[in-house]
Amino acid sequence: MNIGDVVQVLDDNLEGKIVEIKNDKIFIETVDGFHLSYSPKELIVISSDAPKINFDVSVSRVLAEKEIPKKKTSVLTKISKKEQMVFEVDLHLEKIITGRNQNLTNFDKLNIQLEEAKRAMDFAISKRYNRVVLIHGVGDGVLKSELEYLLKRYENIVIQEAKYSRYGLGAMEIYIKQN
């Protein structure tokens, strides 16, 4: 790449002319008159005074890779009344909190999971869901026993193991009797 070459930014819809090259930074002036800096890996040459090399194949391939895929259209499926109003909540810690959980104690982790379960139950009752599935995982059974203790506080609910074929051993299904 040389000063005067017209380049395009790979991750953005920007095009400009190289005005300065310093160390590992290339400064371009966009068609709107803005001066921006990029690393050489972020740019591709569109036109140059140097001998022409056919960039069309690689440019189109790179641009195709960067293109955001179109959202698939959803197909409407008829849901039976029996399957309606199911609220699934995954209580695995990595699903609840993002980022670092390494400095949390086991007690803190358990409390976070129980708070999420309580919040989910209150939400399901307020939105009049008929069933809630709490996915707790297999583990040592501590979370499962604490969930059972928590759920004893709620009235008009029935607790049972969730379908093994769908959830395995690590989930419980709660039926909520609504008026």
Whole-number pLDDT of residue 59: 63
Given CA atoms 137, 162, 116, 108 in this order, what sign does their dihedral have? Answer: negative
Whole-number pLDDT of residue 115: 92
| Structural domain total, the chain | 2
pTM of the predicted model, to two decimals? Answer: 0.51
How many other CB atoms are found less than 10 A from the CB of residue 38? Answer: 19
Residues 103 and 42 in one domain: no
In a structure prediction context, what are the per-residue pLDDT tens digits for the chain, which is 179 residues long? 788 888 888 877 788 888 988 888 889 888 778 888 888 888 888 876 544 444 445 666 767 777 776 666 656 655 555 556 788 888 888 888 876 666 788 888 888 889 998 998 898 888 888 888 888 888 888 888 888 888 889 888 888 888 888 888 889 998 888 77
Whole-number pLDDT of residue 52: 45
Residues 108 and 161 in one domain: yes
Alpha-carbon gap, residue 12 to 27, rounded angstroms: 15
Domain for residue 147, yes or no? yes
Domain for residue 81, yes or no? no
**Domain that residue 101 falls in:** 86-176
CATH number of the domain within which 21 lies = 2.30.30
Residues 19 and 96 in one domain: no
